[in-house]
Structures are given as structure tokens and as C-alpha cells.
Amino acid sequence: MAKAWRAGRQREISFDDYIASASMMIQRTPPEVVYHRVSASARPPTLLAPAWCENRWLAMTAIAETLTQTGAQGAALGHPFVGR
């Protein structure tokens, strides 16, 4: 992927697209499934892109806020015990 990114054949995901994708995935995952990692961080020179990955808490906070506003884990599955 690094070679493809350097050659311009791989685009980086935007922060907003990542938050939306991660939130939708979590909402479509049964509540009994435990996520061990939703976001990670890296620093240059290991991190090539996107720059927002340097601080994973930005993504974690945004995902938590999105889930609070739009529905928790499993909400899209219609589980009766999962609130909005």
C-alpha cells in the first residue's frame, strides 16, 4: 500500500469518511461482539498518511460522538436492548 500511495494509485481516507464508515460498521455489529481496536496511531516516519492518524483520540472521540447521536453498537440491527 505504501508503494501504491507514493505512486498516487492509493488515496488516503478522509477523517470524515473514516468516522462515517467506522460508525456504520459498529452500528451493524451485534452488541455482544467486542471491538479491541477501532483506531490506532503512528508517528512519522512510520505514518505516511493520513496525517490525522497521528492522534487516535481524535477519531475515537468523533466515533463516540457519532454513535451517541445516531445509535449505539447494534442499533442498525434492530436489537430491542440497544438505545439511540
- Which residue, 19, 9, 7, is CA-closest to 61? 19
Q: How confident is the model over 64-75, as a mean pLDDT?
A: 94
User: What's the confidence (pLDDT) of residue 78?
Assistant: 84
Residue 67 has pLDDT above 60, yes or no: yes
Answer yes or no: is 39 within a domain.
Answer: no
Does residue 63 form part of some domain?
Answer: yes
Rg (CA), the chain: 15
DSSP 24-59: HHHHTS-TTSPPS-S-----TTT--S-GGGG-HHHH
pTM: 0.85
Residue 25 lies in a domain: yes
User: pLDDT (tens digit, 9 = 90+) per residue, 8-56?
Assistant: 999 999 999 999 999 999 999 999 999 988 888 899 899 999 999 999 8
58 within a domain of the structure (yes/no): yes
Decide if 37 is inside a domain.
no
